[in-house]
Amino acid sequence: MYVSHPSVHPVEAPPITDGALRVVMMKDFQGMPGTIGGLVLRLCQFLFAAGAVSVMASTHDFVSVTAFCYLVTAVGLQSLWSLVLAVIDIYSLLVKRRLRNTGMVTLFTIGDGITSTLTFAAACASAGITVLISNDLGYCAHNQCMRLETATALAFFSWFTVSPSFLMNFWSLASR
Amino acid sequence: MYVSHPSVHPVEAPPITDGALRVVMMKDFQGMPGTIGGLVLRLCQFLFAAGAVSVMASTHDFVSVTAFCYLVTAVGLQSLWSLVLAVIDIYSLLVKRRLRNTGMVTLFTIGDGITSTLTFAAACASAGITVLISNDLGYCAHNQCMRLETATALAFFSWFTVSPSFLMNFWSLASR
């Protein structure tokens, strides 16, 4: 009897266990939205940004310099964004739901990209002027310079903690 | 006769055609290393960065301000990096070889990430001081301010053209 020979490879039926779930969980490394690491990053971003706003606002004439006003605006926006994302992370952890759908990750990536760019730009502009006042011109009332430097440093710290969130979300978006 | 029944799914042997090649080619969108778009981006980065160095160096007292010296250094590094990558792109186009191995893409991503961050930081610091001099203090010899603004704008243009290279390389790295 003639029997055809198609190319047949025996394939085991996938076990209906937690295998598929484990593959998804492997992508949930700490720092992603909806993880403890992600929440810690968001809280750090918020605290550093809020600190930068407070310290800069405590200097008496920051409104006379455009870059310092811009710093207050940019890190103010950063602190609001990070606070909202921290609240979402807390909710996600409480109800044990992962924030993994493409729409949300895209939104987080765009938001992190915009806020981190604005924060970094503000920190750099502020740093340029602070160095100009303290080093290049040597015109520095001690207390004022300390505050400017502190606010700038806090803005940089905020940017340092936003960048991993942005890169991880972007990576997650590209690798799906 | 007893015959066991493993779960067997017939699978067609993959045709040995250009199918697999086409999948790889689909990732070669313009702007990636080794494409005409990538080369154009590199040349724009180089020209804007070299322009920023030239214009800033033509101001007579840029060395007295730290941020302007930093701008010259950062965009100088950017122009060198972009020139080297442009040469690699030209070579790749001439010999019709794609630059797609993980090591090279990782190197391009890290290099683009570092140079774009430095260029953006320099442009922002320079912009902060230029706005301080021209708007906040109103202390602006017209010709000098024009040069400072031009150099800053060219540095920002250079950053605008480096960012797509970085994001595309990072995306390519994450999606493999």
Instruction: Delimit the domains of chain B by residue range.
Output: 30-174
Distance, CA of B150 to CA of B168 (rounded, Å): 28
CA distance B77 to A176: 34
What does the pLDDT average to over B156-176? 90
- Which pLDDT tens digit goes with each residue over A76-103? 999 999 999 999 999 999 998 877 788 8
What's the confidence (pLDDT) of residue B161? 94
Compute how many other C-beta atoms are within 10 angstroms of the C-beta atom of residue B23: 9
- Would you list which residues of chain B are within 8 Å, Cβ to Cβ, of chain A? 6-13, 64-67, 117, 120-122, 124-129, 131-132, 135-136, 167, 170-171, 173-175
Chain A residues within 8 A of B66 when measuring between CB atoms: 128, 131-132, 135-136
Query: Is residue B169 exposed (0-12), middle (13-18) or buried (19+ Cβ within 10 Å)?
Result: buried
Mutation site for A-interface testing, chosen from B7, B110, B119, B124 by largest number of A Cβ within 10 Å:
B124
Chain A residue numbers touching B174 (CB-CB < 8 A): 170-171, 173-175
Helical packing angle, B102-131 and A102-131, nearest 10°: 50
- Report the SS3 class of residue A28: coil
Among chain A residues, the shortest Cα distance to B135 is held by A66
For residue B88, pLDDT beyond 90? yes
Look at A53 and A8; give whichever has higher pLDDT. A53
Is ipTM over 0.90?
no
> Comparing C-alpha atoms, which of B98, B107, B112 is closest to residue B27?
B98
The one-letter amino acid at B131: V
Q: Do A131 and B11 touch (CB under 8 A)?
A: no
